[in-house]
Chains A and B, each alone.
Chain A
Amino acid sequence: MARNGYFRNIRDTVTTIFEGMSVTFSHLVRKPYTVQYPDRIPIPVQDTLPFRYRGHLEVDLEICTGCLACERACPIDCIVIGAEKDPKTKGMTLTRFDIDLAKCMYCGLCSEPCPTGSIHHTPEFEGADYSLESLVRRFVKAPVAAYKPKKTGETDPELRDMLARGLRYIDEFAKPAP
């Protein structure tokens, strides 16, 4: 217990505890790093995902042409479409459009061939539920006529916006990431 060791020990103890406590106090007055997902985050997670994120599938029935390209493209046959050619109007009528989200593997092969971009992926990914049947999304409530694209461009503003969004989706989808 040499004299210089003894008092140096005391000095070191006091100074290091002082320093350490100043560091911890500085942390006490900061905002914690914890992200309290999912209810106390600044913006919803879905808004932070990129535009091409392949979440649950969704169909904009107003611009679906009934071409059945997505049904043919799906490798798992999770899309079931019921479409008949209406003899009177010479257009397609959609009676059934079921997508089984439990079977879907979110590969995106159905949204690529869509001519209008009506079937697209959404940033939704939270689909946990209590029954398997609820994961079959049925998009057709009553038989509707399929959409017939106009050669001179769409005049209805709502449909024009949907078409613009759908075509942008296909555009982005086909473009490789930078």
Chain B
Amino acid sequence: MQQLVDNLIAQGIAPAFIPVWVHYLLAMLVFGGIVVFGFALLVAGVTSWLERRVWGRIQSRVGPNRVGPNGALQWLADGIKNMLKEDIIPSAADKPLFRLAPYLVVIGFVPTFVVVPFASSLIIADLNVGILYLTAITALVVVGILMAGWASNNKWSLLGGIRSAAQIVSYEIPAGLSLFPAVLLAGTLSMQGIIRAQGWAPWDWYAFHSPFTFAAFLLFFVSALAEGNRTPFDLPEAESELVAGFATEYSGMRNLLFFLVEWGNLYVIGAVVTTLYMGGWQIPPVTDNVVLQQALQFVVFFLKSYFWVFVAMWIRATLPRVRVDQLMTVCWKYLVPISFVNLGGTAVTMVIEHAVPGISWPLRLLVLGAATAGVVAFFARVRYQLRRARPELYYSPVI
């Protein structure tokens, strides 16, 4: 981003009499605006439609398919409906906090797009503490949720808010610890740096670098799901238990903001998993044309991130909710010790690789082979399930 603006100034397109920092500021605002309004909110809306369709097909029913082609404009209809709804604020609620809470939650979501690397030069700001910045910003969501739970003047909302705060704060630890193997291997906290240290091929990704990084990869995804209040960790907004948890008293656009953040956060989770462990936007060197290269990288990054969004939706449709004590047990007794083991194991692996350079390749191929065997076994299991199904069964992979 900075190079782009520097190039524009050097080429004379941007007037040189305006100080450089004004150019940077304007560029960041413009690109930030494009990314947020043209991408983040759009992805959040489309994800809501896709989630309902995927959820529906997994439950042997059709999702929304009337509003627009295959229901693709359903999210627009829902957004307009929410905007037109009456804005109800409970009379005994703490009004300033009640009004402020959704905005804090949005603040915990939108600035993460500043460091999401869409392509090798499509990032708003390549901070050299990128990952740390992202983890810090997503922690702001806790403040918003607690505020929402308290200000609603509703015992169940308060319970939902407190549970959510406990959950997010607890799962920050395995999430942060599971980031570190990738950071150790890359040697930098910057998102672009971590991607550049990987390669385009699966055996160059950090996910398959060693069994410890593979476990860290899976653990990071699970912890990120828990931080995003997604099933199976969605007790704070347990639809069947607490109505909407901390968001019960919210109506109209305020309510929609909470949901937008949830769906948009899915994309950010996918983006971070892809960046850290799946090689980000790396593509094989197929073209010299810069624009085409950037476009391909964008598409590859988007597809990889969206695959994780799809997996999160799939998990939501599969797993039952965990109880709050089970949630804490999983975090503190299983995820945290295993994260420490992964961190130590990655450090040991790095030392061994430095001493014995020839061990890196076999280890990577071993992990990649095991993962591929797992995927093949999975699809064999799927085929078994399909064979066991009742006769009236069709193959229809188009959503």
Interface bracket on B: 20 to 34
The stretch from A26-34, A48-56, A148-156 touching chain B is: A26-34
The stretch from B54-62, B121-129, B199-207, B235-243 touching chain A is: B54-62
Q: Is B18 an interface residue (CB 8 A)?
A: no
Q: Is A20 an interface residue (CB 8 A)?
A: yes
Contact B60 A30 (CB under 8 A): yes
Contact with A along B358-399 (1 / 0, CB 8 A): 000000000000000000001001101110010001111100
Contact B57 A23 (CB under 8 A): no
Contact B393 A31 (CB under 8 A): yes
From A18, A22, A23, A28, give the contact of B54 (CB < 8 A). A28
Task: Report A-chain residues with C-beta under 8 Å of the C-beta of B394.
Answer: 30-31
Q: Is B97 an interface residue (CB 8 A)?
A: no
Task: Report B-chain residues with C-beta under 8 Å of the C-beta of A24.
Answer: 58, 314, 317-318
Task: Report A-chain residues with C-beta under 8 Å of the C-beta of B317.
Answer: 24
Task: Report A-chain residues with C-beta under 8 Å of the C-beta of B384.
Answer: 22
Q: Is A10 an interface residue (CB 8 A)?
A: yes
Contact A29 B395 (CB under 8 A): yes
Q: Is A19 an interface residue (CB 8 A)?
A: yes
What is the predominant secondary structure among interface residues of chain B facing chain A? Answer: helix
Task: Report B-chain residues with C-beta under 8 Å of the C-beta of A4.
Answer: none
From A25, A26, A34, give the contact of B389 (CB < 8 A). A26
Q: Is B85 an interface residue (CB 8 A)?
A: no
In the assembled complex, the CB of B375 is this many whole angstroms from the nearest CB of chain A, namely 11
Q: Is B319 an interface residue (CB 8 A)?
A: yes
Task: Report A-chain residues with C-beta under 8 Å of the C-beta of B385.
Answer: 22-23, 26
Q: Is A132 an interface residue (CB 8 A)?
A: no
Task: Report B-chain residues with C-beta under 8 Å of the C-beta of A26.
Answer: 382, 385-386, 389
Task: Report B-chain residues with C-beta under 8 Å of the C-beta of A19.
Answer: 381
Q: Is A1 an interface residue (CB 8 A)?
A: yes
**Most chain B beta carbons < 10 A, residue from A26, A29, A34:** A26
Task: Report B-chain residues with C-beta under 8 Å of the C-beta of A34.
Answer: 60-62
Contact A30 B395 (CB under 8 A): yes
Interface bracket on A: 20 to 34
The CA of A18 and the CA of B62, in the complex, are separated in Å by 24
Contact A27 B59 (CB under 8 A): yes
Q: Of all chain A residues, which has the CB nearest B333?
A: A1
Task: Report A-chain residues with C-beta under 8 Å of the C-beta of B334.
Answer: 9-10
The CA of A28 and the CA of B394, in the complex, are separated in Å by 11
Contact B61 A30 (CB under 8 A): no
Contact B318 A29 (CB under 8 A): no
Q: Is B315 an interface residue (CB 8 A)?
A: yes
In the assembled complex, the CB of A13 is this many whole angstroms from the nearest CB of chain B, namely 8
Contact A22 B378 (CB under 8 A): yes
Contact A25 B60 (CB under 8 A): no
Contact B61 A32 (CB under 8 A): yes
Q: Of all chain A residues, which has the CB nearest B394?
A: A31
In the assembled complex, the CB of A40 is this many whole angstroms from the nearest CB of chain B, namely 9
The CA of A40 and the CA of B82, in the complex, are separated in Å by 29
The CA of A164 and the CA of B319, in the complex, are separated in Å by 61
Task: Report A-chain residues with C-beta under 8 Å of the C-beta of B378.
Answer: 18, 21-22, 25
Contact A22 B381 (CB under 8 A): yes
Contact A32 B62 (CB under 8 A): yes
Contact B333 A29 (CB under 8 A): no
Contact with A along B304-342 (1 / 0, CB 8 A): 000000000011011100000000000001100000000
From B61, B333, B382, give the contact of A22 (CB < 8 A). B382
In the assembled complex, the CB of B66 is this many whole angstroms from the nearest CB of chain A, namely 9
The CA of A27 and the CA of B334, in the complex, are separated in Å by 31
Q: Is A36 an interface residue (CB 8 A)?
A: yes
Q: Is A2 an interface residue (CB 8 A)?
A: no
Contact A30 B389 (CB under 8 A): yes
Contact B60 A32 (CB under 8 A): yes
The CA of A60 and the CA of B58, in the complex, are separated in Å by 50
Task: Report A-chain residues with C-beta under 8 Å of the C-beta of B54.
Answer: 28
From B59, B314, B396, give the contact of A29 (CB < 8 A). B396
The CA of A17 and the CA of B319, in the complex, are separated in Å by 8
Considering only residues 33-91 of chain A, those with a C-beta below 8 Å from chain B are 33-34, 36
Take A30-B394, A30-B395 as given contacts and tell me if A20 and B318 are in contact as well, using a CB distance cutoff of 8 Å: yes
Contact A20 B319 (CB under 8 A): yes
Q: Of all chain A residues, which has the CB nearest B381?
A: A22
Task: Report A-chain residues with C-beta under 8 Å of the C-beta of B393.
Answer: 30-31
The CA of A27 and the CA of B397, in the complex, are separated in Å by 10
Q: Of all chain B residues, which has the CB nearest A31?
A: B394
The CA of A26 and the CA of B315, in the complex, are separated in Å by 14
Contact B397 A29 (CB under 8 A): yes
Contact A21 B60 (CB under 8 A): no
In the assembled complex, the CB of B308 is this many whole angstroms from the nearest CB of chain A, namely 14
Contact B389 A32 (CB under 8 A): no
The CA of A9 and the CA of B330, in the complex, are separated in Å by 10
In the assembled complex, the CB of A26 is this many whole angstroms from the nearest CB of chain B, namely 4
Q: Which residues on B are within 8 Å of A, measured CB to CB?
A: 54, 56-62, 314-315, 317-319, 333-334, 378, 381-382, 384-386, 389, 393-397
Q: Which residues on A are within 8 Å of B, measured CB to CB?
A: 1, 9-10, 17-34, 36
What are 8 A-B interface contacts by the 8 Å CB criterion? A17-B319, A20-B319, A22-B378, A24-B314, A26-B385, A27-B58, A29-B382, A29-B395
